[in-house]
């Protein structure tokens, strides 16, 4: 260890007592005062410094399933060959680990970060992984899933933050990694924001703080999946001077349209699960209550749509077709950001699996080495756009096909008209007709046999002329997929394990059908989400459903299928926190043959949550009732607009 590194470690330890003063801990032993504790609190959004936003209490960090290891400021050298836990990969290098370092934001709020960096003196490029999920084990972990999404524990050090790169190989390559508990998470102060201006400004402050540290070379990158990607869009749009490169690995850009109110329908199930598992001592910006109480596109929701055109720095963007949250936003962002140095790779698996593959990490290293270390390593010759084409039934996916753009040229938007006999064809029927299905548990399926080898790549639109019988509104789900010649579902074996029927889908509440003409295209309608237009009895209206993009191979004899059915909001029945993670009580890593190590487990197989946390959830009732009617033919041009190409 260099002399200045020793001095840094000593001086850090001497200041820990002062740092601890900044913590405000709310005790939750008596939960009664917090039951149904929903309140409006001012929040900073673009256009208003004190916008009234509904908040609720966060789940207390001491809840076992949150797996909070506690406030433990300190510094230690993690020795090469030591392990984080039994079965994990031993460290390949010595690492200086700084825990619970206080970072003051512009409004005086203190958040806490962990830092992993080389022990040797020097100035290093930094990768920041911004999220609220915990700096160590945290409330989400691959162990919570059977098979760990095919990421064996032996392939990682298990020091990584959830959905973030493994620090060990990066430190070995001469990088520092900064892992914050963002505002409101665990012991970090303040109320927990869902993206927007507050998060963007916090991230800006953190990046500029990093650049001021003696161990920083002044160049900061960001990386990670999901929340860690969404954060990148917002923080980069604030243009922090020392943010040098981005690696967004799947993440939406418009919270309202992609997550909280997709299709104009409040998505209470998944979002409720997400909010309940977040942990801290204060309040969380409650997107579920806001979706129900403030359903129009107000300043609150506009604040949660990233200002993508502000982003001009290099970006390595990774996407997939089957992510229930991120597909459209990631692909839209690639086109919308202003950077001329941007790359897109669409893979054929899941973000968690793909992130930890050796080939993925090698590309990520090459990208950051080029921009954060100024290494001339031919990264600039990497193809700008690579896509995958999925092939359920044959498991012959095409991966890393180089194309000219997203969506690639050569795929003609083809109108396939829906017919009363449940077929589709390029010919429109001159005869007016209709089909119906029950608004609860019903569906209707339209099919078109494919007679030439074909590919469907890009965004899809489904136009329907609809009528509600027995209700004044409709919540609809549209699904596009291929099936075999007998109509049986085709499955694809997934690289991360399991299988999938591989669908493109989206939802639509008919009363929220108005689109923004300035932001819509023929292939991609953009919902206005201002007001509602309820249906009167017998009224027939057109809706355009923006089915999310896909890349699909379709073989001769297979069938292209469209399913229209009632939307059902369902919980993910998430198991986050179920796994008990064993780690050393008194050190971050340890030598496997150290007999004095005391192992402590973090997690809760019972998935216990304080009763008052669940009581804060709002009630949601489906609007679907009666019968849904789809009108076809004649003046009703119900059709699928699909980007198709014959393959010779």
pLDDT per position as a tens digit, 569-580: 876 667 899 999
Give dist(CA 186, CA 296) in Å, integer: 32
Any idea which of 141-150, 266-275, 623-632, 633-642 has the lowest mean pLDDT? 266-275
In a domain, 594, yes or no: no
pLDDT > 80? residue 273: yes
Q: What is the CATH number of the domain that holds 139?
A: 3.40.50.1820
Looking at the structure, do residues 421 and 353 belong to the same domain, yes or no? no
Tell me the HSE value of 490 on the side-chain side, using a 13 A CA sphere.
26
462 and 549 belong to one structural domain:
yes
Residue pLDDT, tens place only, 357-370: 999 999 999 999 99
Q: What is the pLDDT of residues 330-365, one digit of tens each?
A: 999 999 999 999 999 999 999 999 999 999 999 999
Residue 589 lies in a domain: no
Closest residue by Cα to residue 179 from 211, 233, 224: 224
602 inside domain:
no
**Average pLDDT over every residue of 632-645:** 98
Which secondary-structure segment (H or E) carries 493? strand 492-493
Q: Are residues 366 and 441 in the same domain?
A: no
Q: 426 and 378 in one domain?
A: no
Tell me if 586 is assigned to some domain: no
Quick one: which of 383, 267, 398, 402 has its CA closest to 321? Answer: 398
Considering the domain boundaries, does residue 208 fall inside one?
A: yes
- How many other CB atoms sit within 10 Å of the CB of residue 501? 15
**Which strand (E) or helix (H) includes residue 455?**
strand 454-469
Task: State the Cα–Cα distance between residues 512 and 509, nearest whole angstrom.
Answer: 5
Do 352 and 477 sit in the same domain of this protein? no
What sign has the CA pseudo-torsion 544, 545, 550, 555? Answer: negative
Single residue among 336, 367, 382 that ends a domain in this structure: 382
Does residue 257 share a domain with residue 140? yes
SS3 for 198?
A: helix
Backbone φ and ψ of 211, nearest 5°: -65, -20
C-alpha 251/C-alpha 246 separation (Å) is 12
Residue 448: name the closest of 477, 479, 417 by CA: 417
> Contact, 492 vs 503, CB < 8 A?
no
Tens-place pLDDT, residues 192-205: 999 999 999 999 99
Distance CA 163, CA 582 (A): 19
Do 55 and 10 belong together in one domain?
Answer: yes
Return the CATH number at 516. Answer: 2.60.120.260
Residue with tokens 């506690």: 70
Predicted pLDDT of residue 34: 45
pLDDT for the residue numbered 570: 74
Model pLDDT for residues 557-616, shown as the tens digit of each residue: 999 999 999 999 876 667 899 999 999 999 999 999 998 999 999 999 999 999 899 889
pTM above 0.85, yes or no: yes
Domain range for 311 = 3-382
* Domain total in the chain: 2
Checking if the pLDDT of 28 tops 60, the result is no
Host H or E run for residue 57? strand 48-57
Clarify whether residues 111 and 223 are in a common domain: yes
The first and second tokens of residue 117, run together, are: 């960096």
- Same domain assignment for residues 302 and 155: yes
Do 66 and 206 reside in the same domain of the chain?
yes
Q: CB-side exposure of 359: number of CA atoms within 13 Å?
A: 6
Question: Is the domain of 466 the same as that of 347?
Answer: no
Residues facing residue 280 across a β-bridge: 186
Give whole-number Cα distances, 142 to 575, 579, 580, in Å. Answer: 11, 9, 11
Q: Do residues 523 and 378 share a domain? A: no
Distances (CA, A) of 405 to 15, 134, 362, 541, 576: 52, 37, 23, 35, 37
71 to each of 20, 462, 501, 579, how far by Cα in Å?
Answer: 9, 52, 44, 21
**279 pLDDT tier (thresholds 50, 70, 90):** very high
Residue 603 lies in a domain: no
Q: Which pLDDT does position 572 carry in this prediction?
A: 62
For residues 539-548, one letter each, b for 16 or more C-beta atoms within 10 angstroms of the residue's C-beta and e for the rest, the string is eebebbbbbb
619 lies in some domain:
no
Give the 3-state secondary structure percentages of the chain, helix then strand then coil, rounded to 5.
20, 30, 45
C-beta separation of 456 from 560 below 8 A = yes
Asked if residue 90 belongs to a domain, the reply is yes
When the pLDDT of each residue in the chain is averaged and rounded to a whole number, the result is: 93
Tokens of 340: 């001329």
pLDDT higher than threshold 50 for residue 12: no
- What end-to-end distance do the CA atoms of the chain give, in Å? 63
pLDDT above 50 for 27 = no
Mean pLDDT of 418-435: 97
CA proximity to 569, closest of 172, 262, 146: 262
């Amino acid at each position: 260890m260099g002399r200045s590194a020793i001095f840094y470690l000593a001086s850090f330890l001497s200041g820990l007592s002062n740092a601890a003063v900044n913590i405000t801990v709310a005790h939750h032993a008596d939960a009664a005062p917090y039951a149904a504790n929903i309140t409006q609190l001012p929040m900073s959004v673009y256009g208003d410094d004190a916008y009234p936003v509904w908040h609720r209490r966060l789940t207390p960090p001491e809840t076992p399933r949150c797996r909070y290891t506690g406030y433990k400021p300190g510094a230690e050298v993690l020795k090469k060959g030591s392990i984080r836990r039994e079965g994990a990969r031993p460290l390949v290098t010595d690492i200086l680990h700084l825990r619970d370092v206080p970072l003051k934001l512009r409004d005086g709020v203190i958040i806490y970060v962990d830092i992993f960096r080389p022990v040797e003196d020097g100035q290093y490029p930094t990768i920041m992984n911004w999220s609220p999920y915990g700096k160590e084990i945290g409330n989400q972990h691959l162990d919570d899933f059977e098979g760990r999404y095919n990421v064996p524990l032996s392939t990682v050090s298990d020091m990584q933050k959830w959905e973030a790169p493994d620090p060990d190989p990066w430190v070995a390559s001469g990088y520092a990694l900064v892992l914050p508990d963002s505002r409101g998470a665990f012991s970090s102060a303040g109320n927990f924001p869902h993206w927007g201006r507050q998060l963007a400004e916090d991230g800006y402050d953190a990046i500029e703080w990093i650049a001021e540290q003696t161990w920083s070379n002044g160049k900061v990158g960001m990386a990670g999946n999901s929340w860690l990607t969404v954060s990148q869009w917002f923080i980069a749009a604030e243009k922090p001077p020392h943010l040098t490169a981005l690696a967004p690995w799947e993440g939406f850009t418009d919270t309202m349209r992609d997550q909280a109110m997709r299709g104009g329908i409040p998505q209470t199930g998944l979002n409720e699960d997400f909010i309940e598992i977040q942990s801290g001592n204060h309040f969380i910006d409650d997107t579920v209550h806001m979706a129900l109480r403030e359903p129009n596109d107000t300043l609150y929701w506009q604040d949660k749509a990233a200002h993508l055109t502000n982003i001009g720095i290099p970006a390595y963007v990774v996407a997939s077709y089957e992510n229930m949250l991120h597909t459209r936003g990631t692909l839209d962002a690639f086109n919308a950001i202003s950077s001329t140095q941007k790359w897109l790779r669409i893979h054929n698996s899941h973000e968690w699996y793909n992130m930890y593959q050796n080939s993925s990490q090698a590309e990520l290293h090459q990208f950051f080495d080029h921009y954060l270390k100024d290494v001339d390593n031919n990264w600039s010759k990497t193809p700008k756009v690579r896509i995958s084409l999925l092939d359920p039934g044959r498991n012959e996916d095409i991966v890393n096909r180089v194309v000219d753009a997203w969506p690639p040229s050569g795929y003609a938007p083809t109108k396939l008209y829906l017919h009363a006999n449940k077929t589709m064809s390029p010919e429109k029927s001159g005869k007016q007709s209709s089909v119906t299905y029950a608004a609860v548990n019903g569906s209707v399926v339209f099919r078109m046999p494919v007679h030439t080898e074909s590919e469907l790549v890009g965004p899809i639109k489904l136009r329907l002329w609809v009528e509600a019988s027995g209700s004044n509104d409709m919540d609809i789900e549209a699904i596009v997929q291929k099936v075999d010649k007998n109509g049986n579902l085709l499955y694809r074996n997934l690289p991360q394990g399991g299988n999938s029927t591989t669908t493109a889908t989206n939802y639509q509440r008919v009363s929220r059908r108005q689109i923004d003409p300035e932001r819509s295209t023929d292939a991609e309608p953009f919902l206005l989400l201002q007001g509602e237009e309820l249906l009167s009895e017998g009224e027939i209206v057109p809706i355009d459903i923006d089915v999310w993009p896909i890349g699909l191979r379709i073989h001769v004899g297979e069938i292209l299928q469209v399913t229209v059915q009632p939307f059902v909001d369902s919980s993910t029945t998430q198991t986050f926190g179920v796994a008990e993670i064993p780690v050393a009580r008194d050190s971050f890593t340890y030598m496997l043959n150290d007999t004095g190590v005391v192992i402590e487990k973090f997690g809760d197989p019972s998935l216990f949550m304080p009763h008052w946390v669940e009581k804060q959830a709002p009630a949601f009732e489906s609007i679907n009732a009666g019968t849904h009617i789809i009108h076809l033919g004649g003046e009703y041009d119900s059709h699928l607009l699909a980007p198709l190409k014959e393959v010779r």
